[in-house]
């Protein structure tokens, strides 16, 4: 894939094969970010799991103490009182069958989808639209819940979803380049602790095999998994 001049220049300023401790990696990522906007910083880890095995599926949510710095747009499937509560909590889009029709028509202007349990028969029909984008609500991630107001507040406040892809990789945004380094470090620790908490009992060998931090437009900086 072709890379821009800023990316190429940044990649020449450090040893891409060196393993850094978390504090070094955070400082390096911040120093290498050269875009004209406030880039996000993403944590990516390759886990020693077999995602094809149900017992080794890794998925859930984690609250990042420092937030993400992102404006998270939330769509909520709810009716009646629950719909009113979702709107009051700050949901960007709230609906039922009407919202389903919009999504089927190609409207996907949101980052998280939350639904009350009674709306799942309607939401379930949207698998072709929501599934490939990882947006299908799921009880395991707290996005299927009767308390939609609480869920909206948590995701607006810094709760993020994580899930291992078919290769065992998990990618999570942990802040912005403009964040203080300590704030990013706290978020990094939160996601590492969470992944350790949900480590499948059947996973063999080293669990965190490769860890990288990178800004939106910057090169990846390797983190020593043993230092986490």
Could you report the per-residue pLDDT of 105-119, keeping only the tens digit for each?
999 999 999 999 999
Residues 33 and 97 in one domain: no
Q: Are residues 78 and 149 in the same domain?
A: yes
* Residues 85 and 139 grouped into a single domain: yes
C-alpha 95/C-alpha 107 separation (Å) is: 13
Asked whether residue 48 falls in the same domain as residue 90, the answer is no
User: Which whole number is the average pLDDT over 219-223?
Assistant: 95
pLDDT value at residue 14:
77
CB 66 within 8 A of CB 175: yes
Confidence of residue 12 (pLDDT cuts 50, 70, 90): confident
**Domain presence at residue 10:** no
- pLDDT at position 136 over 80: yes
Contact residues for 176 (Cβ-Cβ < 8 A; gap 6+): 38, 39, 40, 41, 68, 69, 70
Query: Are 80 and 145 contained in the same domain?
Result: yes
User: Could you give the CA distance from residue 180 to residue 177 in angstroms, rounded to a whole number?
Assistant: 8
Q: Does 95 fall in a domain?
A: yes
Q: Range of 203's domain?
A: 15-67+160-227
Reduced to 3 states, what is the DSSP secondary structure of residue 18? coil
CATH of the domain at 223: 3.30.190.20
Residue 8 lies in a domain: no
Do 141 and 199 have their domain in common? Answer: no
pLDDT tens for 174-194 read 999 999 999 999 999 999 999
| pLDDT at 11 (0 to 100) | 66
Let me know whether 202 and 91 are in one domain.
no
Is 215 found in the same domain as 174?
Answer: yes
Tokens read off for 133: 């984008």
When pLDDT is averaged across residues 208-219 and rounded to a whole number, the result is 96
Least confident of 2-6, 109-113, 135-139, 191-195: 2-6
Give the number of domains in the chain: 2
Asked if residue 4 is part of any domain, the answer here is no
Who wins on pLDDT, 150 or 140? 150
Tell me the pTM.
0.82
């Amino acid at each position: 894939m072709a890379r821009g001049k800023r990316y190429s220049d940044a990649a020449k300023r450090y040893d891409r094969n060196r393993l850094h401790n978390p504090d070094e990696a955070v400082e390096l990522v911040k120093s290498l970010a050269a875009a004209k906007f406030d880039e996000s910083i993403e944590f990516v880890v390759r886990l020693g799991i077999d995602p094809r095995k149900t017992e080794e599926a890794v998925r859930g949510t984690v609250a990042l103490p420092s937030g993400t710095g992102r404006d998270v747009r939330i769509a909520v499937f709810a009716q009646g009182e629950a719909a009113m509560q979702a709107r009051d909590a700050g949901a960007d889009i709230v609906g039922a069958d009407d919202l389903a029709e919009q999504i089927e028509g190609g409207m996907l202007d949101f980052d998280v989808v939350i639904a009350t349990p009674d709306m799942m028969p309607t939401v379930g029909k949207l698998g072709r639209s929501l599934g490939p984008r990882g947006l299908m609500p799921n009880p395991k991630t707290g996005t299927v819940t009767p308390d939609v107001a609480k869920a909206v507040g948590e995701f607006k406040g810094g709760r993020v979803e994580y899930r291992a892809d078919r290769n065992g990789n998990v990618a999570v945004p942990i802040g912005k380049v403009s964040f203080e380094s300590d704030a990013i470090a706290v978020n990094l620790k939160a996601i590492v602790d969470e992944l350790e908490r949900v480590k499948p009992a059947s996973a063999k060998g080293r669990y965190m095999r490769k860890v990288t931090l990178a800004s939106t437009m910057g090169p990846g900086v390797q983190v020593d998994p043993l230092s986490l």
